């Protein structure tokens, strides 16, 4: 996993409620989100396990088959009151854990909350991808379904990012992570990849008079250079892009 952090800084991770004061201002399950009140498991995560989330085994196990197996089936973990989660993006994992206590439905505000940076479309798209990765890993169906309710938001973010000028390293990071988490060629494309391919096609097929009118020559050439680099490094991306562009070139 790349060290680039798409959301808020590590120091901005939401702290626990120690005395129930914060919890009392919330209702239902949300009152126990990252709260020491009745907590029976401490989840440590981050590069060095520096982040802490105070969880409740019954809440986590009821919503995630992964946690159910960890607490109810795996005897080595069952009796532990501490669980260390490795190799996950910390911002994405925090969003997932928070959503296990949330009543919120599928909206971008509920999804990103204080981690969402409206001014940075690239970071928003990358964070969305990483949240989807942890949701799939821990089999948290509620959060997996969220992406289907956020397609308009993702599309507008990708559009703004491409129009504003794509940096090569940003594009390569996104494409690498998209394909690093596709463990099967027959597996359906992630929503973000589908939208990215569609938006690239839209930009590439712009008529010459539109490009002249909007003075987009430099931006389009930059996009071509970036895409060419990704195609050369990742043949599977080349294949998917060719299929998307087939009606333009055949």
Which tokens is 178 given? Answer: 């998209």
Say what the pLDDT of residue 190 is: 80
Low pLDDT (below 50) residues in the chain: 1-3, 7-12, 19-21, 23, 106-107, 110, 114-118
- 66 to each of 24, 74, 84, how far by Cα in Å? 29, 10, 14
Say what the pLDDT of residue 54 is: 96
Give first-to-last CA distance, the chain, whole Å.
Answer: 37
Nearest-angstrom CA–CA distance, 101 and 32: 7
Q: In what order do the strands lie in the sheet with 51-55?
A: 51-55, 41-45, 82-84
Nearest-angstrom CA–CA distance, 200 and 179: 17
Say what the pLDDT of residue 240 is: 92
Q: Give backbone dihedrals phi and psi of 33, rounded to 5 degrees, phi first.
A: -65, 120
Which tokens is 30 given? Answer: 């949300």
- What one-character DSSP code corresponds to residue 49? S
Place of tokens 């959301």: 7
Which tokens is 43 given? Answer: 């989840």
């Amino acid at each position: 996993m790349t060290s680039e952090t798409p959301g808020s800084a590590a120091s901005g991770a939401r702290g626990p409620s120690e005395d129930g004061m914060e919890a009392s201002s919330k209702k239902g399950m949300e009152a126990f989100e990252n709260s020491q009140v009745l907590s029976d498991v401490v989840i440590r995560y981050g590069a060095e396990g520096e982040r802490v989330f105070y969880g409740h085994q019954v809440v986590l196990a009821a919503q995630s088959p992964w946690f159910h197996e960890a607490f109810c089936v795996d005897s080595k973990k069952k009796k532990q009151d501490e669980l260390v989660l490795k190799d996950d993006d910390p911002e994405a994992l925090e969003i997932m854990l928070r959503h296990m206590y949330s009543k919120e439905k599928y909206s971008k505000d509920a999804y990103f909350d204080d981690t969402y940076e409206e001014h940075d479309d690239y970071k928003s798209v990358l964070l969305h991808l990483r949240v989807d990765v942890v949701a799939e890993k821990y089999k948290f169906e509620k959060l997996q379904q969220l992406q289907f309710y956020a397609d308009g938001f993702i599309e507008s973010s990708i559009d703004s990012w491409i129009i504003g000028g794509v940096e090569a390293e940003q594009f390569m990071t996104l494409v690498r992570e998209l394909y690093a988490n596709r463990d099967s060629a027959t597996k359906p494309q992630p929503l973000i990849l589908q939208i990215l391919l569609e938006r690239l096609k839209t930009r590439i097929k712009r008529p010459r008079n539109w490009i002249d009118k909007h003075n987009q020559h430099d931006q389009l050439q930059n996009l071509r250079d970036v895409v060419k680099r990704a195609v050369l490094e990742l043949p599977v991306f080349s294949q998917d892009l060719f299929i998307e562009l087939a009606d333009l070139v055949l």
